[in-house]
């Protein structure tokens, strides 16, 4: 059985196959476009790759095409809260008389043949593996079958990895932390002077009582205060422990409690207590997670996580006796620590190294301000 495939269709199939299976790009759905393929990879040399097989016959149509891309990129920026989105635009049917001019935001390549794909002046100059990347085939039908199988295998492997991240897990540490907070509350009511030993007191911390930087995160005196914090811990802790795992959850929780206490000592400089700084750290970690998994979470980052962050920070400003500096300190710490511990399938060695570095710099700077300024 023979099957005829146009050279343009073959180029499209080979490019999609390469970007998905080798460069880890993922298809994204863009409404209102035809004969276009859009791919995304946060860690790629380009965040967005767009492959357009529509015929562009003059300069005006090329300008309109760029205008259309810019509008779609604006939607992606808005949805993902991104300031910059590097875009590679691949045109497969451009009139020979149309001149391509440099563009700061959209880099456009014209591809006519597979030689253009493998050329150093073409896509292989950006993706060197394209020079030697081949697909086994005996005929066109074999080519389609092999491409389909490879993409399906890659997709299946990715889906299994993501299912492992999102599947329900037994929650242990979040429950344990809630129980510890309740036990500490009981000890505060029952043991005279116990609160004085664990509350955050900047002067005593400077004097060497460093345990207060952590113990204060388990101290509450107001039933409404602990009820609110434990409810937030249950909601956020359940998600972070599920998505990142128990070890990473503990690192983020206690690390955020530590940075929250440090910033409180530096800015607020008064007695402070409560788990809200650590809870804000979980919120920061969840925001970092949501950003990197936004293709799977949809608009959750923009419509739920970010509004919750700003709402709670706003409440901290208008409601008296709330330590906003501790909330901010924990929130920033949570983001940095999530970067440091990594996000499962999304782990990138360089990102984790950067996360460790910025976390240490952040903590070191706060310790310096607390002890030496």
Q: Of 220, 225, 292, 327, which one is the catalytic site residue?
A: 327
What's the CA gap between 72 and 147, in Å, rounded?
Answer: 28
H or E stretch at 247: helix 246-263
Unique residue bearing structure tokens 């300008």: 63
Q: Report angle CA 205, 230, 198 to the nearest 5 degrees.
A: 20
Does the active-site annotation cover 276? yes
Distance, C-alpha 303 to centroid of its chain? 15
| Rounded CA separation 178/282 (Å) | 14
Q: Is 327 a catalytic residue?
A: yes
CA torsion angle 197 200 202 204 (round to 10): 10
What is the number of helices (H) and of strands (E) in the chain?
Answer: 16, 5
Q: How far apart are CA 20 and CA 157, in angstroms?
A: 12
| HSE, side-chain direction, 13 A CA sphere, residue 152 | 6
From the list 261, 276, 325, 359, the catalytic residue is: 276
For the sheet with 87-91, list strands across it.
Answer: 26-27, 36-40, 48-52, 87-91, 106-110
User: Would you please indicate which residues are annotated as catalytic (active-site) residues?
Assistant: 276, 327
């Amino acid at each position: 059985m023979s099957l005829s495939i146009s050279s343009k269709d073959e180029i499209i199939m080979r490019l999609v196959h390469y970007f998905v299976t080798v460069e880890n790009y993922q298809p994204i759905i863009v409404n209102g476009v035809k004969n276009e393929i859009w791919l995304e990879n946060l860690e790629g040399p380009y965040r967005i790759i767009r492959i357009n097989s529509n015929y562009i016959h003059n300069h005006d149509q090329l300008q309109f095409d760029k205008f259309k891309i810019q509008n779609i990129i604006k939607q992606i920026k808005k949805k993902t809260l991104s300031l910059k989105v590097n875009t590679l635009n691949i045109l497969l049917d451009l009139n020979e008389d149309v001149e391509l001019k440099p563009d700061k935001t959209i880099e456009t390549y014209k591809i006519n043949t597979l030689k253009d794909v493998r050329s150093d002046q073409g896509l292989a100059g950006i993706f060197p593996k394209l020079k030697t990347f081949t697909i086994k085939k005996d005929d066109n039908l074999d080519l389609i079958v092999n491409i389909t199988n490879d993409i399906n295998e890659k997709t299946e492997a990715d889906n299994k990895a993501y299912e492992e991240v999102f599947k329900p897990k037994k929650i242990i540490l979040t429950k344990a932390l809630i129980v510890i907070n309740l036990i500490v509350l009981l000890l505060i009511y029952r043991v005279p002077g116990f609160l004085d030993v664990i509350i955050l007191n900047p002067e005593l911390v400077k004097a060497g009582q460093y345990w207060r930087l952590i113990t204060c995160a388990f101290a509450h005196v107001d039933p409404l205060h602990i009820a609110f914090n434990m409810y937030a811990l249950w909601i956020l802790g359940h998600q972070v422990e599920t998505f990142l795992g128990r070890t990473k959850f503990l690192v983020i929780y206690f690390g955020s409690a530590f940075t929250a206490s440090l910033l409180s000592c530096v800015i607020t400089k008064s007695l402070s207590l409560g788990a809200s700084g650590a809870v804000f750290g979980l919120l920061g970690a969840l925001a970092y997670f949501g950003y990197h998994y936004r293709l799977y979470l949809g608009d959750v980052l923009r419509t739920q996580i970010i509004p919750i962050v700003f709402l709670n920070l706003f409440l901290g400003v208008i409601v008296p006796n709330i330590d906003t500096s501790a909330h901010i300190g924990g929130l920033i710490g949570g983001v940095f620590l999530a970067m440091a511990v990594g996000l499962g399938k999304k782990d990138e060695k360089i990102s984790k190294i950067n996360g460790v570095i910025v976390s240490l710099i952040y903590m070191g700077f706060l310790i310096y301000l607390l002890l030496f300024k």
